[in-house]
A and B are shown apart, each in its own frame.
Chain A
Amino acid sequence: MEDQALRAGEKLRLLLKEQELTQEEFAFDFNTDIRNVNRWINEGIKKIRTIQDLAEYFHISFVDFFI
């Protein structure tokens, strides 16, 4: 669980980099607190629903967060 959650967090970090977004900009656009974004990236994303929401936002699939 921990590794996979970290992998999803790493994917989020890469997506932000690809899209040239800072954590702050993304948090504002995604309507969440920057501390959540920071936690997702550094400690992993542990909730399915969060990954589903992020996948929808970036127009990628759920599975893309783990490959």
Chain B
Amino acid sequence: MGKPKTKKNKTQSVKAFVEEWFSRYHLEDRCELSEEDKANSTELLQTAAQALGITQEALLARDERAVRRWEEKYPFFCLYNRFNICQMIANNHANPAELLLFALLDGEGFTPAKKYNRKSIYDRAMSTLKEADKYLPGSYHCGAKAVDFQFATTLFFTFPKINIMLSSFFDMVDRVKELFFRAWDEDLSDDEIREYNFLANFLQLRDRYVPRTMYYANLKKLVPIYREEGCLPEEDDFDALIVLKFCREFTPWACKEFSDYPELAQRYAIIYPEAKAAMFDFGKSVKYFGCSFRWSDEPAPLLFSSEEEEEEWLEEEEMKSLEEESAQDEDDSLLSESRNEDEFDLDVAELSEAPMSNHPGLLAGARILVPKSEEELAGDGEAAEKLLRLGGSVKEGGVHISKPRWLARATAFGRC
């Protein structure tokens, strides 16, 4: 009678071990354990061992030394955990336990929550609008009130070891690339396979057309297809074949020191082109108050109780508009059997008229940036300017992002 209970306890403790280390390596979102996996010990063992880059035996034995290896090899992980706590404190998201832990460490990076004078921001927003109205008439609605006025802003936090954290991150990227290419011509050792699997999972290394982590076993299956497509184990073809999925939660530019290392920012933006816009947006959110409101003489915006409801509404509107377009196309084809090139160009221009603008029903809200005062910037002004420079025009010091070469390739049918 005692045996099943022991087995159940062991399964529970292995699950707890997996959960703890998934959390420490930030793998929860990267490696989804299905309910089936969680219920099935064999599946759990296989999936979790692969993701953690350890053997199933080590996992069963809850071998801390084996799993801690990546933390020791790549200081990124320990630093990133600290970085996260600093960020949560800066955003007022830290729980009491995290705050206590932070205080027990050294309190580095602590940024007290700021309070702003809403009335002052509102008044400055109105002044900015009045000034803008001279150049863009209609910006200020004389006699109307700005209602539902909201503002948002953020602050940097301090994290002096950002360069070490990012360098370690790039070490991981370099290492996974090295193992990726070596696997084209030879079989990796068991140890290397575990490291490759761990890194591929953490970095979410994927074939551009296959939305799953490319573990070693998948890689070996794909190599012959890559060769058939004429690809070579070279840096250029890595970028053409592989994507490292951009992690929106990882925002190294949220710390003040990030912009002191433009070469690291550049390297990060080469790997993740999306990062450039994120740097720019973050810089703006530090330098300005992002204000939104509605003029009292304009119709109220449509309100939705949930994002799903809003999406449904937008989909319905899009369907209606497509139906209208399609009906128009049918009319056009009746009018003119053959089109010359000019007519075709005209159609393209018409189609591209307003792809990204809000629907008129949602247009009622207005948005404006209001610069912060020196006091409100609380010493963040210089770093915000530097970050905005990195996120801005390349000619003015912005990081360069190359248009993905894979856009030009159309040879991936064998992989889909």
Closest to A51 in B: B136
CA distance A51 to B138 in the complex (A): 14
B230 at the interface (CB under 8 A from A): no
Report A23-64 CB contacts with B as 1/0, cut-off 8 Å. Answer: 001001111110110110000001111011100111100110
CA distance A48 to B139 in the complex (A): 7
Q: In chain B between 353 and 378, which residues have their CB closer than 8 angstroms to a CB of chain A?
A: 353-356, 366-369
User: Is the CB–CB distance between B398 and A5 below 8 Å?
Assistant: no
- Given the known inter-chain contacts A1-B136, A1-B137, A1-B138, please indicate yes or no for A56 contacting B388, CB distance below 8 A: yes
Q: In chain A between 1 and 30, which residues have their CB closer than 8 angstroms to a CB of chain B?
A: 1, 4-5, 8, 19, 25, 28-30
Report B108-140 CB contacts with A as 1/0, cut-off 8 Å. Answer: 000000000000000000000100100111110
Tell me the interface secondary structure of chain B in the complex. mixed
Interface residues on B, range: 20 to 34
B75 at the interface (CB under 8 A from A): no
User: Is the CB–CB distance between A5 and B368 below 8 Å?
Assistant: no
**Cβ 8 A contact of A36, one of B277, B355, B395:** B355
Chain A residues contacting B283 (CB-CB under 8 Å) are 56
User: Is the CB–CB distance between B355 and A35 below 8 Å?
Assistant: yes
**Cβ 8 A contact of A56, one of B137, B138, B353, B392:** B392
Chain A residues contacting B135 (CB-CB under 8 Å) are 4, 62-63, 65-66
CA distance A29 to B392 in the complex (A): 8
B40 at the interface (CB under 8 A from A): no
Closest to B385 in A: A59
- Given the known inter-chain contacts A1-B136, A19-B395, A59-B389, please indicate yes or no for A49 contacting B367, CB distance below 8 A: yes
CA distance A3 to B182 in the complex (A): 60
**B343 shortest CB reach to chain A, Å:** 18
User: Is the CB–CB distance between A39 and B368 below 8 Å?
Assistant: no
User: Is the CB–CB distance between B136 and A46 below 8 Å?
Assistant: yes
**A51 shortest CB reach to chain B, Å:** 7
User: Is the CB–CB distance between B132 and A62 below 8 Å?
Assistant: yes
**B276 shortest CB reach to chain A, Å:** 7
Chain A residues contacting B138 (CB-CB under 8 Å) are 1
Q: Provide 13 A-B residue pairs closer than 8 Å at the C-beta atoms, listed in order of the A residue.
A: A4-B135, A19-B393, A29-B401, A36-B355, A38-B352, A39-B353, A48-B136, A48-B139, A52-B368, A56-B284, A56-B369, A56-B392, A65-B135
Chain A interface (Cβ < 8 Å from any Cβ of B): 1, 4-5, 8, 19, 25, 28-33, 35-36, 38-39, 46-49, 51-53, 56-59, 62-63, 65-66
Q: Give me the 6 closest cross-chain CB pairs, A-B, nearest first.
A: A31-B277, A35-B352, A49-B367, A66-B135, A35-B355, A52-B369
